[in-house]
Structure 1
C-alpha cells in the first residue's frame, strides 16, 4: 500500500464509487436497526430497496456488490493503457499480483475469520474483495493481451460456459439445470473444493455441516466475476476514448438498456440469482451499472456539477480503506461509553444511536485522510 497525492481522476467514477461505499458503510449500518426500532409496516415495505433478494430476482440493494466490481474495471483502461505495448510486462504483472494478493488477504480478514487465528474456523473464499481480486485478475490480463473484439468474445464465452455448466453438467444429484439453493452445480463445486474452508461450515457430530442459510457460491461464479469487471473495462474504454462526451453517454445508455433487457429475457430460462452470480444476473446488474455510470458522467463530468460531493469523495477515494475499517474494526464501544446513560430514555432507538456513532467515527477517519491527501491504494 502507498500514499499518494491526488492524481487526475474521472470525477464521476470517484463520486459513484463513493455513493456505493456510502450505501455499504452508512445506509446498511443505520437502516436495519432503524427499521427494527420503528417496527412499522410502511417502513418494512420501504426496506425492500435496502434488502437483498433471498434467492431469485434482483433488488436495488443487490446492485451494491456488482457495482463495486464494475468500477474496479472502469479504472483499468485509464491505469493500464500505457502498458499494452510494452514488451516487458513483468512490472505490471507484479502490480496486478500484489493487488490480487492483498485483496485476497483483506477479504479473509473481513469475512474469512483470518483474525480469529483459528485454523478450524477460516473461510478461504467468501468475500466481496476476493471476488474483485479474481475479476480484476481476469479483466486486467485480458485488457493487456487481447484486442477489444477478443475481450468481448472472451466475456461472452465465460457467460456461455457458466450457463452450459449449470444447465447440462450433473454430479451426485446436483446440477443438470437445477437452480435450487441445495441442488445447483455451483453449490456442489464449492462444497467439494472448499469443504470446511467455506463460509457457514461448522463441525457437528463428527462431521462438517454446511449451514442452510449460506448459499453464496464462488468458484464457478469466478468466471462471471471476471465478466462483471470486464464490463467495467468496456465502459472505461468508452469513457477514455476520443469520442464526444454526448456520444459516450448515449452509448453507455444504449449498452446498459440492451444488457438489462437481454439479462431479464435470458432470466426466463437461466434465472437471475445474485448468490450464484448467474450469467443473466451479470447482464442485468452490469446493464444497471452502465446506466448509473451514464447518469453520473452526464451530471458530473459533462454538465460540470462536480461541487458539493465531498462526503461521497471521502468514501470513494479511499474505498478499500472504508470497506476494511467497516468490516474489521468496530467503534460502537465509543458510543456505548459516551451514551450508555441514554439507553433508558431512547429504548429501541439506542442501537440506532450506537450505529450512528460508529459510522461517524469511520467518516471522521476517512475525512482526515482525505483532507491530508492520504489515499491508501492496493
Structure 2
C-alpha cells in the first residue's frame, strides 16, 4: 500500500510494549492484579496481550501477501521466516550466560512465545495465499468447534476429559506425552501443542480484519466495531460451556480476545486513519521492529536474571537499589521498574526507526 494504515502499526507496537511491560516487573511477587495472568479460567488485561499480537500478525499477513503469487519463492520466504522465529524462541529457551552456554537437555523448554508466533505465521500465511475468505471462515470455525469437541468429548486414558489443570486434561496430557520435561511446567505449557490449533484461529480472525481494512467498504471503523462486539458476545456465551482460558487457549478465549482487538483497533483507526489525528508515534516506531524488540527484551532480561550480584541477580539488585523505598508500595515499585524497561525499548525502537534500521525476522 502506498499509504500505510497507521493504526495497524500503532496497534502492533503498543502490543509489543505491553508484552515487555507484563514480562519484566521488578518482582513477580508484587504485581498489580491487572498485570497478572488469570489463575486458570477467566481473563485479565494481561491475558489479552499475546492473542492481540497473533491477531495483528494475521492482519499484517493480508498487507504483506495480498499480491503474492503462490509459488516456491513465496513458500520459501514464509518457511525461512518461520524457522527464524522458531530458532530464536528455542535459543531463548536454551541460553545460559556461562559455559557451555546451553542448559542441560532436560531443562530446555521446547514450546514458547516466539515458537508459537512462528507456527501461527506459517499456517496463517499458507492458508491466506491459497484460500478465499469463505474458505478461511470455514477453516476458522472448524478449528474452534473442533478444538471444543476434542477438549470436552475425547477421554484421556479411559477417563473423561476435564478443563481443569489435571492429568485428564487433553491438551495438558498431550504436552506431557510429547514434550516430557521440556514444558513450561511439569504438567502443562501455555504455548502447548494442541492449543496451537485455536491460536491459528486467533490469527485468521486478524486476517478478516485486514481484509476489511483493505476493502472499499465505507465506515470501516463501524464494521470493525460490529465484528468486535459480536465476537465478544458469542465468546462470553461460549464461556458458559467452554470457559475462557488463556493457558488452554480455548475457543471462547479466541473470540473474546479477537473481539477486544477489533474494538481497540477500530478506535485507533478512527483517530489516526480517518480523523488524521497524530497519535502514538512511539508505538509506530516500535511496531516497525516488533520482533527484534521483543527478542532483545527477553534476551537481556534473561541475562540480567543470571548475573549474580551478592545473593541476588543483577535484575534484583537494580530493583532493590533504585526502585524499592518506604514511600511507595512494592507493587508500585515493581511497576516503575517495568515502565523503565518499556521506556528503554521504546527509545531503542525510536533510534532504529530514525536511522531507518529495520531488522526483519
Q: CA deviation at 1:267?
A: 1.1
Q: 1:101 and 2:86 equivalent? A: no
For residues 329-353 of structure 1, the C-alpha deviation after alignment (integer angstroms, 9 at most, x for no partner) is: 1486599689959978989687667
Query: Is the 1:28–1:50 contact (alpha carbons within 8 Å) kept by the matching residues of 2?
Result: no
Structure 1: segments with no counterpart, 5+ residues: 1-5, 37-43, 201-209
Q: CA deviation at 1:26?
A: 3.4
Query: Is the 2:148–2:250 contact (alpha carbons within 8 Å) kept by the matching residues of 1?
Result: yes
Q: CA deviation at 1:356?
A: 5.5
Structure 2: segments with no counterpart, 5+ residues: 305-313
Q: Quick one: structure 1 residues 329 and 294, their matched pair in 2 at CA, closer, same or farther if it must change by over 3 Å?
A: same
- Take 2:76 and 2:244, find their aligned partners in 1: how far apart are those partners? 36
Alignment coverage as a number of residue pairs: 343
Q: CA deviation at 1:7?
A: 7.9
- Take 1:329 and 1:198, find their aligned partners in 2: how far apart are those partners? 22
**Which residue matches 2:170?**
185
Q: 1:91 aligns with which of 70, 73, 91?
A: 73
For residues 263-304 of structure 1, the C-alpha deviation after alignment (integer angstroms, 9 at most, x for no partner) is: 111111111111000111111111111111111111111111
> TM-score, with normalisation over the residues of structure 2?
0.85
Q: Quick one: structure 1 residues 190 and 346, their matched pair in 2 at CA, closer, same or farther if it must change by over 3 Å?
A: same
**Which residue matches 1:288?**
260
Aligned pairs for 1:295-306 within 5 A: 295-305=267-277
Q: Quick one: structure 1 residues 181 and 339, their matched pair in 2 at CA, closer, same or farther if it must change by over 3 Å?
A: closer
SS of equivalent to 1:23: helix
CA RMSD of aligned residues (A): 3.0
**Which residue matches 1:207?**
none
- Take 1:344 and 1:250, find their aligned partners in 2: how far apart are those partners? 47
Q: CA deviation at 1:164?
A: 1.1
Q: CA deviation at 1:358?
A: 4.2
Query: Is the 2:13–2:283 contact (alpha carbons within 8 Å) kept by the matching residues of 1?
Result: yes
- Take 2:259 and 2:337, find their aligned partners in 1: how far apart are those partners? 37
Aligned pairs for 1:98-247 within 5 A: 98-110=80-92, 112-115=93-96, 116-118=101-103, 119-125=105-111, 127-172=112-157, 176-182=160-166, 183-200=168-185, 210=186, 215-244=189-218, 246=219
Q: 1:309 and 2:280 equivalent? A: yes
For residues 224-280 of structure 1, the C-alpha deviation after alignment (integer angstroms, 9 at most, x for no partner) is: 111000000010011011112x1x112111111111111111111111111000111
